[in-house]
């Protein structure tokens, strides 16, 4: 084969957070995606990236909200989320954005610009929306940023004090083969959901969780799942299900610690050489601190699990090579620090941390990365520059920040002030998907002068913005696929022309930077293609200097399409070096050891997060008086047919819907007591809001618990609109589609972390007695440019974007 023939024969690839895909017939009407051949368990989510139903909701042209334009002209405005958009030309849109950025900066300073812009955006190392917006706003003089994530608000803040950063832990989990070979008892809090492991940040070339679990089952590993939901672990074999009350796992772990103490089963040698502060925790567990021994009987009353089983579990954990896994969901809760801290404390007492197949995990199943056998390298990075603004918020405090400028908040022991935000700039996230208590966010969203969003689709957040700039998708641009501990890297090639007038975030920011006088600083004179080469070459040099990995030259890589990274074949065991020699390989904690008691955190003096793991009642849970009004605990887990809200409009995601509504799972007895059957349209509500969903009674969910996955595009009823009976609902917000954040609380995990607490939420469910209002989540109203009929004539046909879709 000649080089030209080889190049023509090489498959073309694209990648998403949920997989690597080969593309047949790129740049043609017959284009088709198929999963990468090396993926044994691919997911279908990405196959719909170019589906007509998905493309129908693309933002095709820059658009500006009519009410915002009115205010600009000195006329009365309209609230965000309630009016129409006018399409404008790119030049005009970029001028508007540049003028507004300048106006806000000169009137209020860079501290008035929020560029936190949280969200998952798309895979690819260059066209990463967050990196792009941060580099742009840094070049403009800085912006108010966010710290931590919705995923791991409590854990990201906490874990570095106890053992190591979440990034470090997550990237070095023990591999599946080692678990199959050594683990005897696998105890999981919140399962190992294979649905969640479809995804990894940046993408994945092979899905490993289902095969990994199957191998463990074949090896005879015993599985116990502590979860309000039975089916969040599937090994293909028997799994013991302990249907715990949500948010009470800390009590169970404390009782395990109690049994280990009183039976003298804790590993004092490991505690002495590798840990600090066990004595303080022991006093609390034994009841010497507060008069309440944390016995199995005490925990039984809180968790709803039998005391005898709890006691036996402690004995079994000590008698076996035991791995204790904990879903991230547990820390996305009020006092979410505590289950993670209790996990580390119990694992330390068992003394198996750093042994093959033993210790703790945080966590298998939250993403595909954990358990990978592949080598840990580093990827190419795009420099974001330096932020001249010091002000920041913990990510989930956004509504607080907008509603309470000048007020203070605490974070990791220090006190900070909320800035006064006039302009919000977002690229690559969907806050009206991800934030809790969307009624409150809607209110907070009315505060800034201007909200600018780059979006691919008319998402709920696009429909809450003033200026919407159409962003291209992965399929429409060249990029590089690299993700942590994946076996290959790949050239992600442009395989279709941008839809409408969509542009990539980089070129949008490059044009804005030029208008604002820092074009050269932003671009360094390079276009996107030149940047790809530079990122790759720099990365290649760094790998050559620091490792034995030699990458091919860029042109060869681009032509090959895929490149396999060399492996060492070494097994991965989390924290094994620290275990072998804690003096030579100390942790980065204050003591260099595992901190069962943290003096640093204790010295912060916080009542809601003292210096050791402890039980604190959540503000609402199945043990609180509020159950008289709202007797069901709502779990809002990750959706199985999409990534958050991404591709919610694809047939794959909508295939799950019953009469267009998101399914809500509830225990069969709870359903019967309410006259609810499979498919019954129900209203789920509490004092914060309500939403419609379709009931699915199930024996696989604990009585008193309901599960409504996230991701159904927020579809609030407009009181004035033709929503019929919907207008009669008296909650602050009424979502017609099934979005759990109409119900969740915007309450921080603690004054330590300020993490989000989506999983702490009580509700009631009832039959919907009225006619079903239409779902309008996928509807938007955009008028073509008023002054440019010629341009309107060239816009693509299909469901016209001048009407409501």
Pairing of strands 450-455, 423-427: parallel
Contact residue for ligand MGD among 58, 80, 105, 127 (CB under 6 A)? 127
The reply on whether position 367 binds ligand MGD by CB under 6 A is: yes
In whole angstroms, give the CA distance from residue 519 to residue 166: 36
Cβ of residue 743: shortest distance to ligand MGD, in angstroms? 8
The reply on whether position 645 binds Mo ion by CB under 5 A is: no
Contact residue for ligand MGD among 175, 455, 476, 511 (CB under 6 A)? 455
In whole angstroms, give the CA distance from residue 615 to residue 299: 10
Which one from 48, 68, 85, 118 is the annotated catalytic residue? 118
299 vs 164, 248, 326, 474, CA distance in Å? 29, 9, 18, 49
Comparison of 276 and 614: residue with beta carbon closer to ligand MGD? 614
How many CB atoms lie under 10 A from the CB of residue 134? Answer: 22
Q: Which residues contact 658 (CB under 8 A, 6 or more apart)?
A: 679, 694, 696
The reply on whether position 151 binds Mo ion by CB under 5 A is: yes
Cα end-to-end distance, the chain, whole Å = 50
Can 120 be counted among the known catalytic residues?
yes
Residue for token pair 């008296």: 730
Interface map 131-170 toward ligand MGD (x if CB under 6 A): -------------------xx-------------------
Residue whose Cβ sits closest to ligand MGD: 190
In whole angstroms, give the CA distance from residue 291 to residue 283: 10
> What are the tokens at 683?
């209203």
In the list Mo ion, ligand MGD, none, the entry touching 328 (Cβ below 5 to 8 angstroms by class) is: ligand MGD
Q: Which stretch binds ligand MGD (CB under 6 A): 88-96, 169-177, 188-196, 401-409?
A: 188-196
The reply on whether position 19 binds ligand MGD by CB under 6 A is: no
Closest CA relative to residue 183, chosen from 28, 371, 8, 33? 371
Cβ of residue 801: shortest distance to ligand MGD, in angstroms? 17
Q: Which residues contact 564 (CB under 8 A, 6 or more apart)?
A: 487, 488
Contact residue for ligand MGD among 644, 652, 661, 683 (CB under 6 A)? 644
Element containing residue 735 per DSSP (H, E): strand 734-735
The reply on whether position 499 binds ligand MGD by CB under 6 A is: no
The reply on whether position 173 binds ligand MGD by CB under 6 A is: no
Cβ of residue 453: shortest distance to ligand MGD, in angstroms? 8
Closest CA relative to residue 427, chosen from 17, 97, 795, 757? 97
In whole angstroms, give the CA distance from residue 739 to residue 460: 11
In whole angstroms, give the CA distance from residue 440 to residue 165: 32
Cβ of residue 527: shortest distance to Mo ion, in angstroms? 32
- Residue 39 in contact with residue 27, Cβ under 8 Å? no
Please report which residue ranges of 109-146 form alpha helices under DSSP H: 129-139
Residues 316-345, interacting with ligand MGD (CB under 6 A): 327-330, 332-333
Q: Which stretch binds Mo ion (CB under 5 A): 22-30, 64-72, 150-158, 262-270?
A: 150-158
> What are the tokens at 295?
């016995």
The reply on whether position 229 binds ligand MGD by CB under 6 A is: yes
Comparison of 333 and 664: residue with beta carbon closer to ligand MGD? 333
Q: Which sign, positive or negative, has the C-alpha torsion 190, 195, 198, 199?
A: negative
The reply on whether position 41 binds ligand MGD by CB under 6 A is: no
Can 328 be counted among the known catalytic residues?
no
> What are the tokens at 608?
């809601």
- E strand map for 25-100: 32-35, 63-65, 85-87
In the list ligand MGD, Mo ion, none, the entry touching 702 (Cβ below 5 to 8 angstroms by class) is: none
Comparison of 638 and 750: residue with beta carbon closer to Mo ion? 638
Element containing residue 223 per DSSP (H, E): strand 222-226
Which one from 120, 457, 558, 612 is the annotated catalytic residue? 120
Interface map 105-124 toward ligand MGD (x if CB under 6 A): --------------xxxx--
The reply on whether position 638 binds Mo ion by CB under 5 A is: no
**Residues annotated as catalytic (active site), given as ranges:** 118, 120
List contacts with ligand MGD (CB under 6 A).
119-122, 127, 129, 150-151, 189-191, 193, 195-196, 198-199, 226-229, 232, 244, 246-247, 249, 327-330, 332-333, 363, 366-367, 427-430, 433-434, 454-457, 459, 471, 505, 635-640, 643-646, 710, 740-741, 744, 758-759
């Amino acid at each position: 084969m000649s080089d030209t023939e080889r190049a023509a024969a090489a498959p073309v690839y694209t990648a998403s957070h949920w997989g690597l895909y080969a593309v047949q017939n790129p740049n043609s009407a017959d284009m088709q995606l198929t999963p990468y051949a090396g993926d044994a368990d691919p997911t279908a989510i990405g196959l719909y990236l170019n589906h007509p139903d998905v493309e129908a909701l693309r933002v095709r042209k820059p658009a500006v909200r009519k009410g915002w334009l009115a205010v600009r002209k000195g006329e009365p405005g309209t609230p965000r989320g309630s009016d129409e958009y006018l399409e404008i030309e790119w030049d005009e849109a970029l001028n508007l954005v540049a003028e507004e950025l300048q106006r806000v900066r000169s009137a209020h300073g860079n501290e008035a610009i929020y560029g936190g812009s949280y969200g998952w955006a798309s895979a690819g190392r260059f066209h990463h929306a967050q990196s792009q917006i941060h580099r742009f706003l840094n070049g403009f003089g800085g912006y108010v940023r966010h710290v931590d994530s919705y995923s791991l608000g409590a854990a990201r803040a906490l874990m570095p004090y106890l053992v190591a950063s979440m990034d470090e832990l997550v990237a070095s989990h023990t591999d599946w083969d080692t678990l199959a070979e050594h683990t005897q008892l696998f105890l999981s809090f919140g399962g190992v959901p294979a649905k969640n492991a479809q995804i990894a940040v940046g993408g994945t070339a092979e899905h490993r969780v289902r095969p990994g679990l199957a191998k463990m089952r074949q090896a005879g590993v015993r599985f116990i799942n502590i979860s309000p939901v039975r089916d969040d672990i599937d090994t293909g074999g028997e799994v013991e299900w302990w249907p715990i009350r949500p948010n009470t796992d800390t009590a169970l772990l404390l009782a395990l610690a109690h049994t280990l103490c009183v039976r003298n089963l804790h590993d004092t040698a490991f505690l002495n050489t590798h840990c600090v502060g066990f004595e303080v925790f022991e006093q609390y567990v034994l009841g010497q601190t507060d008069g309440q021994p944390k016995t199995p009987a005490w925990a039984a009353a809180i968790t709803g699990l039998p005391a005898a089983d709890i006691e036996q579990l402690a004995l079994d954990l000590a008698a076996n090579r035991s791995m204790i896994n904990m879903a991230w969901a547990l820390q996305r809760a009020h006092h979410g620090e505590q289950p993670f801290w209790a996990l580390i404390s119990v694992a330390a007492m068992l003394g198996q941390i750093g042994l093959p197949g033993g210790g703790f995990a945080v966590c298998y199943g939250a993403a595909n990365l954990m358990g990978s056998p592949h080598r840990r390298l580093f990827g190419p990075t795009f420099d974001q520059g330096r932020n001249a603004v010091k002000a920041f918020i913990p990510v989930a405090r956004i509504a607080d920040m907008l509603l309470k400028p000048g007020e203070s908040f605490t974070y990791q022991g220090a006190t900070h002030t909320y800035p006064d935000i006039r302009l919000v700039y977002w690229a690559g996230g969907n806050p009206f998907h991800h934030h809790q208590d969307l009624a409150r966010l809607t209110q907070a969203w009315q505060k800034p002068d201007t909200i600018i969003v780059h979006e691919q689709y008319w998402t709920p957040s696009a429909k809450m913005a003033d200026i919407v700039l159409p962003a291209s998708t992965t399929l429409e641009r060249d990029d590089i696929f690299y993700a942590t501990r994946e076996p290959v890297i790949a050239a992600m090639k442009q395989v279709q022309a941008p839809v409408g007038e969509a542009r990539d975030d980089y070129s949008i920011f490059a044009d804005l930077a030029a208008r604002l006088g820092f074009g050269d600083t932003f671009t360094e004179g390079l276009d996107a293609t030149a940047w790809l080469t530079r990122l790759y070459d720099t990365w290649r040099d760094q790998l050559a200097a620091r490792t034995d990995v030699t990458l091919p030259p860029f042109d060869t890589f681009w032509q090959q399409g895929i490149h396999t990274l060399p492996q060492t074949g070494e097994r991965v065991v989390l924290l094994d070096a620290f275990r072998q020699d804690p003096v030579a390989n100390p942790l980065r904690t204050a003591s260099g050891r595992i901190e069962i008691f943290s003096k640093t955190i204790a010295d912060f003096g916080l009542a809601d997060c003292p210096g050791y793991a402890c039980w604190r009642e959540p503000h609402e849970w199945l043990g609180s008086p509020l159950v008289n009004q709202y007797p069901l605990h709502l779990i809002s887990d990750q959706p199985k047919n999409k990534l958050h809200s991404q591709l919610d409009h694809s047939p794959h995601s909508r295939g799950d819907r019953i009469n267009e509504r998101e399914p809500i799972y509830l225990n069969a007895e709870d359903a019967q007591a309410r006259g609810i059957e499979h498919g019954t349209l129900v209203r789920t509500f509490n004092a914060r809001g309500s939403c419609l969903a379709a009931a699915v009674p199930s024996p696989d969910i604990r009585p008193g618990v309901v599960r409504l996955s996230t991701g159904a595009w927020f579809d609030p009823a407009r009181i004035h609109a033709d929503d019929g009976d919907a207008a009669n609902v008296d909650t602050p917000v009424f979502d017609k589609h099934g979005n759990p954040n109409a119900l969740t609380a915007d309450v921080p995990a603690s004054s330590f972390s300020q993490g989000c607490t989506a999983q702490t939420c009580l509700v009631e469910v009832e039959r919907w007695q009225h006619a079903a209002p239409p779902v309008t989540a996928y509807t938007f109203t955009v008028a073509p440019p008023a002054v440019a009929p010629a341009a309107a004539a060239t816009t693509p046909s299909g469901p016209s974007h001048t009407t409501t879709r």
